[in-house]
Amino acid sequence: MHKRQLGNSDLHLSPIGFGAWAIGGGDWAFSWGPQDDNDSIAAIHKAIDSGINWIDTAAVYGLGHSEEVVGKAVKSASTKPYLFTKCSMVWDEKREITNSLKQIRREVEDSLRRLQVETIDLYQVHWPKPDEDIEEGWTVMADLQREGKVRWIGVSNFSPSQMERAQKIAPITSNQPPYSMLNRTVEAEILPFCLKHNIGVLNYAPMHSGLLTGAMSKERVAAFPKDDFRRNAKNYQEPLLSRNLAVADFLKAIGTRHNVSAGVVAIAWTLHQPAITAAIVGGRNAKQVEGVLPAIDLRLTDAEVAEINGFLADHP
């Protein structure tokens, strides 16, 4: 497996990592619905046993539960992957979430405890909110790195101007933005900035939260649990839903050439972008993880990428 170096770090990553958003379970604002912890642990073990060497989670996923499940799974795993998590989304006793850059030092201690480790391999600011507190928050992140609480520090959902402000305080190892063929906003400025400044990019939602897996349908969308955040996402509603399912059907045809799913093609399309270091891919059970494993090795040709981009242009 060809591994990719993450920005200015000494971390060499498998092309895809395990994304732990969905395994946070239900009963929080950005839930994917109910989730069985045993399925989650089996999914993580499958990923690790298959060569995926990093897991990306966040404190807010399941309001701490995702980190707890990751910590438990890694304790019993065959090998120890890199652990990446995020701060700056906090919640209160009513489970209401707010953005804060003033509690990072408390947050890191909570994450270390839940993950059952002494050092976090990559610690990321989840959102640059409030904007006026970026410098204060990034200063604490740099302090945590010097103290050895975290090995490397990164950002998530930051704009170029926000990254420039942070860089004046301490180097940024990585940025984590959304990026899929249904959401290409970062191509204009964010990806070029990261490429120029040797900031690694870990894109999340390469299959756009399941829309491009090839397994989604209008019936499945209609049957989503009430606490599945995708119920209210614009790309899961008409008229975009029909268009997006048509894109997935087109990707199935590309996938047939390689004997892989539409979702694997969607992931590989993002990895073709030079600025992308590796993609975050979720999995709620071992079978789902097994289905995306071909994305580790699949490399689309320039002609195939042009073919996909042509279809996207014809179906805006």
| Cβ pair 159, 181 in contact under 8 A | no
Residue 88: helix, strand or coil by DSSP?
A: coil
The tens digit of pLDDT for each residue in 172-202 reads 999 999 999 999 999 999 999 999 999 999 9
Return the DSSP state at 186. G
If residue 266 lies in a helix (H) or strand (E), which one and from where to where?
helix 262-271
pLDDT of residue 316: 86
pLDDT in tens, 198-223: 999 999 999 988 889 878 888 878 88
Is 82 an active-site residue? Answer: no
Domain spans in the chain, listed from the N-terminal domain onward: 4-314
Nearest residue to 24 via CA among 175, 227, 162, 246 = 227
Question: What would the pLDDT profile of 131-141 be if each residue is shown by its tens digit?
Answer: 999 999 999 99
Predicted local confidence at residue 231, as pLDDT: 77
Query: Strand, helix or coil at 250?
Result: helix
Which pLDDT value is given to residue 180? 96
226-244 confidence digits (pLDDT tens): 778 887 788 788 888 889 9
Class of the CATH domain delimited by 4-314: alpha beta
* The pLDDT of residue 123 is above 90: yes
pLDDT at 303 over 90: yes
Q: How much is the pLDDT for 204?
A: 97
Query: From CA 282, how far away is CA 285, in angstroms rounded?
Result: 9
Q: So what's the pLDDT on residue 198?
A: 98
Confidence of residue 44 (pLDDT cuts 50, 70, 90): very high
Chain mean pLDDT for the chain: 95
Residue 25 falls in which region: left (phi positive, over 0), alpha (psi -120 to 50) or beta: left
Which of these is catalytic: 61, 123, 179, 204? 61
Calculate ∠ Cα 121-122-125, nearest 5°: 150
